[in-house]
Chains A and B, each alone.
Chain A
């Protein structure tokens, strides 16, 4: 298992994400998907794993955001970003993005690899859905050839239910984030919708951030 970087989420997932798996994190913007990605990368860097962050944003934006969550250390992941990195992320050229990811996997085949990406939703919006299903299927299959875990962050509200359902089939695991309205209060909650090697999960868990550290509270949201 590969630690998520969030101790309480590791407990729920029986020690983390499964080895050689691809996990989809779904939720609306602003809810903490990126923070899950940062925790995953930060935990990997501490353990000496090779970490690759694929983003359609500039590196400086992500580092600033990471600092906001208190996870930006001296050691940084390798970047495929819109600017500020040797490897460029051009959303108009999906092929080059997957090529660079595959190259990175090959180059680091002797190590544990963690890949985090926020380009799933933009690519799905900018390209025909069918070609993107095949694209992400190939990438998910590629990850399984190595000691690697791919964490893809997706904006649920940008896509149709059918598109989301198709994407969920491609990934080994799906974590869903939502805002739950109870009376006058609004609470962020998450659930493990599916995860390789785990029985189906039905519970929703509240989560919060305190000083940049994510805390998932087991089994309280109904």
Chain B
């Protein structure tokens, strides 16, 4: 329940900001943050589906479609969120430096890898390619490679950004991704639960620092109009 409420708050906050912001990279970032919140909901949904169907392979078309939709959100939501943050971080660099060839190819190649790996992991149940062994490692590697590449690009941009607000925001995004990786690699160890709380905290901090909002508009005389 805590996860559902937190994710819903993230989605609501981010969509509100998307409506208010004007410039494209910032609107895109708010949009993908909302999708990131939906990803969180998708993860929760996925665990419910797994509980209902068990972990054994199924040939049910409806269950496959549901799973593909949920994993679509997880794959593209996670990557899109990181990608939009790199776009803003690169935009915020006064000297327009290209971090890790991001502008010269990375921005297209990494999403392509995510699409390919998603397609592999969500093949229809009647497809005969075995989703295990070395092939699984290769496609796992493609997805994690794209995510790690974008995360490293984001981390480098973080060091370069002079705008303290965007710098703070980027810091929480990088920490959120680090916490997410901690969950993936620690599960099912109980420490993964700690990483989960760290993830929620970092996500909340990143969303709340997405833009500076004011509840009180001061007039020139110093009082509210």
Chain B residues with CB under 8 A of A131: none
- Known contacts A202-B220, A202-B225, A155 near B214 by CB under 8 Å: no
Contact A29 B96, beta carbon cutoff 8 Å:
no
Q: Chain B interface: which of A42-50, A71-79, A104-112, A177-185?
A: A177-185
Asked whether A31 lies within 8 Å of B219 as measured between CB atoms, the reply is: no
Q: CB of B17 within 8 A of chain A?
A: yes
Question: How far is A194 from B44 in the complex, measured between Cα atoms in Å?
Answer: 51
Complex Cα gap A91–B214 (Å): 31
Any B CB within 8 A of the CB of A187: yes
Query: CA separation between A91 and B97, bound complex, in Å?
Result: 13
Interchain CB contact under 8 A, B163 and A181: no
Interface residue SS majority, chain B: loop
- Among A148-196, those with CB < 8 Å from B are 155, 157-158, 178-182, 184-189, 191, 193
The complex places the Cα of A13 from the Cα of B15 at a distance, in Å, of 32
Complex CA distance for A164 and B224, rounded to whole angstroms: 21
Query: Within 8 Å of chain A (Cβ to Cβ): is B20?
Result: yes
Q: Pick the contact of A157 from B16, B27, B94, B164 — CB < 8 Å?
A: B164
Cβ-defined contact, B214 with A179, below 8 A: yes
Are A186 and B17 in contact (CB-based, < 8 A)?
Answer: yes
Query: Which listed residue (B23, B94, B224, B225) contacts A32, Cβ 8 A?
Result: B23
Which B residues between 208 and 225 are near A, CB-CB below 8 angstroms?
211-215, 217, 219-221, 224-225
A189-B224 Cα distance, complex, nearest whole Å: 14
Least Cβ–Cβ distance between A158 and chain B, in angstroms: 5
Of the candidates B16, B21, B27, B95, which one forms a contact with A91 in the assembled complex, judged by CB atoms under 8 Å apart? B95
| Set of chain B residues within 8 Å of A187, measured between Cβ atoms | 20
Q: Is B106 an interface residue, CB under 8 A from the partner?
A: no
> Given the complex, which residues of A lie within 8 Å of B211, measured CB to CB?
28, 30-31, 179, 186
Contacts of A32 in B (CB 8 A): 22-23
CA gap between A215 and B142 in the complex, in Å:
46
Chain B residues 166 to 221 lying within 8 A of chain A, measured CB to CB, are 166, 211-215, 217, 219-221
Expressed in whole angstroms, the Cα–Cα distance for A28 and B16 within the complex equals: 16
Q: How far is the CA of A35 from the CA of B220 in the complex (A)?
A: 25
Jot down 12 A-B pairs with beta carbons below 8 A, ordered by A. Answer: A28-B211, A30-B21, A35-B22, A125-B162, A158-B165, A179-B17, A179-B213, A182-B215, A186-B19, A186-B211, A201-B220, A202-B225
Listed in ascending order, the chain B residues whose CB lies under 8 Å from chain A are 12, 16-17, 19-27, 92, 94-96, 162-166, 211-215, 217, 219-221, 224-225
